[in-house]
Amino acid sequence: MTVIDISPSVMQFLLAFIVVAPLLGALAALLPAPPGLKGKNPDQAVLRHGVTVTGAVLVAAIVLAAGFDHDHPATMQATTDISWIPALDVRIHLGIDGISLPLLVLTALLTFLCALYSYFKLPAGPSPKAFVALVLVLESGTLATFAVLDLLLFFLAFEMVLIPMYFLIARWGGDQRQAAAWKFILYTLLGSVVMLLGLLLIGLKSGTFDMVALATDNGRGLTTSVQVIAVLAIGLGLAVKTPMWPLHSWLPDAHTAAPTVGSVLLAGVLLKMGTYGFVRILLPVAPDGMRTFAPYLAAFAVVGIVYGSLACLALARTGAKGDLKRLIAYSSVGHMGFVLLGIATMTPTGVNGALFANIAHGLITGLLFFLVGAVKDRYGTADLDTLAGARGAALYGRAPRLGALLAFAAVASLGLPGLAGFWGEMLTLFGAYSPAEGLSRPAFRTFMAIGAFGTLLTAAYMLIVVRRVCMGEHAPHSRLSPDEQTPQAADGPQQSGAAGSPSSGGAGPRTATTPQLADIHPYEAAAWTPLAALTVVAGLWPAVLLRLTDPAVQQLLAGGKS
């Protein structure tokens, strides 16, 4: 069943266009604008170019999804297979199935929303031309990662995103951006070197780099020792990008320093590349090696779940001077722990849960980083102690719609039933209750219990954040007066009498000493509404996504035999 009937040749063109168009758009962004397109403001012209290119890619992705045969989601569709380097049997092999299609659409959507947001709120930094070009190169590399079906092409696409993200952090980031950018690039490059060795080992030992052929063979052409070495090498590279505890330490620094759109793309798209590699490459190509390391992967995953939650609780407490962006970054360590736990179960239930959690995390955490960026713009800081002003000085009293949307994203992130964050975590825990044959049930049920405890910790820190940022603190427990707590709230109109007349109580409604903040701007609503709406849709109708992923996962785990 397809929503619209599209010929195979058009489907091939659409997939190739989705991968190549951002790269061509990046080159065009660096060229001088034609005289008729310069307009009065050349900077706005290049930002408009970014919106146009990412919008065209999103439309192509939606049309591709509409033409996808939903009755056969396990079959590779829109495939292109062209010889590129015959001596190494490297081919330009593209295709999508029910596993890669949702990630492809998510990437196109988030990049378009980031381009739209940047058109109105460009981060401070060098030329907009370079900014737009880097975002488009980043989009091309990410889309290629989810579309290629050759191991060496996968590696090239995987590496293609590193340089753009490095420069987005280093040139358009905030405080400590240089150190954060270097940490990001060093961690990921070192992991990638090890991953390349593992990919070469698989290709040379099996005689092919074709991911479809390798998945169908299901490891039968590789000895157990080769599979174990390959999983160790490739898994390390993928774990750094995921990020898995204890290889996560680059992430909080990168998120804290990155501009808003950089954080959205890093959390919503780039982290998914690591977990996608586990599902697309290691599970079907080296099942014996994965079975050897699955208990260790699950153990690291649940440690990450608890560690990430405890780090967030430490940042959220009063007086800790915790950064809200840093807190959301640590929450990603916990959420990606659930994805890794689902993969480690090696069961259809667990892997489907991992893929669902991937999409949910991209929607919810992308929205959270947009909102935190908006809060930081309005207050001039993301420090939780400063944001948690007296009642009436907090978001509900100063920007109620923004506060309501932040509360919505927070409860979605903690896994409230009826929203997207619930289903992925629930399915991964179900998968851990009954792992694949050959894996220890007592061990995985212990991991399930620890993961379930992690959901309680997640709820705790998210509710603390909502209480402090949206509702505010009682004045007797606040170290600062409302004026001192929000000295940089210059985004909205200052009310008369605000200066030099601090409120003696501060626990009541907003007074003249508490300047009102600008609430949600129209361009912000345009960028955020799709993410909020899809979070609700995925939570109420999870079958829309699971019908795509489940047949493909079943076939992947069976080595193409079902």
Furthest CA-CA distance within the chain: 79
In this prediction, residue 486 has a pLDDT band, given cuts at 50, 70 and 90, of very low
- Are 549 and 352 in contact, with CB atoms under 8 Å apart? yes
- Are 172 and 259 in contact, with CB atoms under 8 Å apart? yes
- Are 294 and 346 in contact, with CB atoms under 8 Å apart? yes
| 59-73, 255-269, 313-327: segment of lowest average pLDDT | 313-327
- Are 362 and 347 in contact, with CB atoms under 8 Å apart? no
Provide the 8-state DSSP code for 468: I
CA distance 535 to 537: 6
What residue type is 518 in one-letter code?
A
Closest C-alpha among 281, 26, 250 to residue 139? 26
**What kind and span of H or E run contains 79?**
strand 77-85
Structure tokens at 205: 């030992």
| pLDDT per residue as tens digits for the range 327-352 | 999 999 999 999 999 999 999 999 99
| SS3 call for 426 | helix
Q: Please list the alpha-helical segments (H only) found in 242-286.
A: 250-257, 260-265, 271-277, 283-285
- Are 264 and 369 in contact, with CB atoms under 8 Å apart? yes
pLDDT value at position 502? 34
What residue type is 176 in one-letter code?
Q
Closest C-alpha among 384, 375, 362 to residue 492? 375
Mean per-residue pLDDT, 500-526? 59
CA distance 198 to 186: 19
In this prediction, residue 501 has a pLDDT band, given cuts at 50, 70 and 90, of very low
CA distance 147 to 338: 24
- Are 482 and 503 in contact, with CB atoms under 8 Å apart? yes
Supply the DSSP string of 2-13, one letter for each residue. -SS---HHHHHH
Residue partners of 25: CB distance under 8 A and separation at least 6:
49, 50, 53, 54, 136
In this prediction, residue 514 has a pLDDT band, given cuts at 50, 70 and 90, of low
Residue partners of 99: CB distance under 8 A and separation at least 6:
276, 279, 280, 355, 548, 549, 552, 553, 556
What residue type is 257 in one-letter code?
A
Q: Quote the mean pLDDT of the chain.
A: 86
Q: Other CB atoms closer than 10 Å to residue 484's CB: what's the count?
A: 12
In this prediction, residue 25 has a pLDDT band, given cuts at 50, 70 and 90, of very high
Give 377-380 contacts, CB < 8 A, sequence gap 24+: 377/121, 377/491, 378/402, 378/489, 378/491, 378/492, 378/517, 378/518, 379/486, 379/488, 379/489, 379/517, 380/487, 380/488, 380/489, 380/490
CA distance 302 to 451: 6
Structure tokens at 503: 């409120």
Go through the chain and tell me how many residues it has.
562
Residue partners of 376: CB distance under 8 A and separation at least 6:
260, 324, 325, 382
pLDDT value at position 494? 36
pTM (2 d.p.): 0.88
Higher pLDDT, 56 or 255: 56
pLDDT value at position 382? 83
The pLDDT of residue 71 is above 70: yes
Residue partners of 525: CB distance under 8 A and separation at least 6:
none
Structure tokens at 6: 């599209």
pLDDT value at position 562? 45
Angle at 119 between CA 116 and CA 122, to 5 degrees: 120
Residue partners of 360: CB distance under 8 A and separation at least 6:
420, 421, 423, 424, 535, 538
Residue showing tokens 């200052």: 494
In this prediction, residue 233 has a pLDDT band, given cuts at 50, 70 and 90, of very high
- Are 267 and 336 in contact, with CB atoms under 8 Å apart? no
- Are 531 and 367 in contact, with CB atoms under 8 Å apart? yes
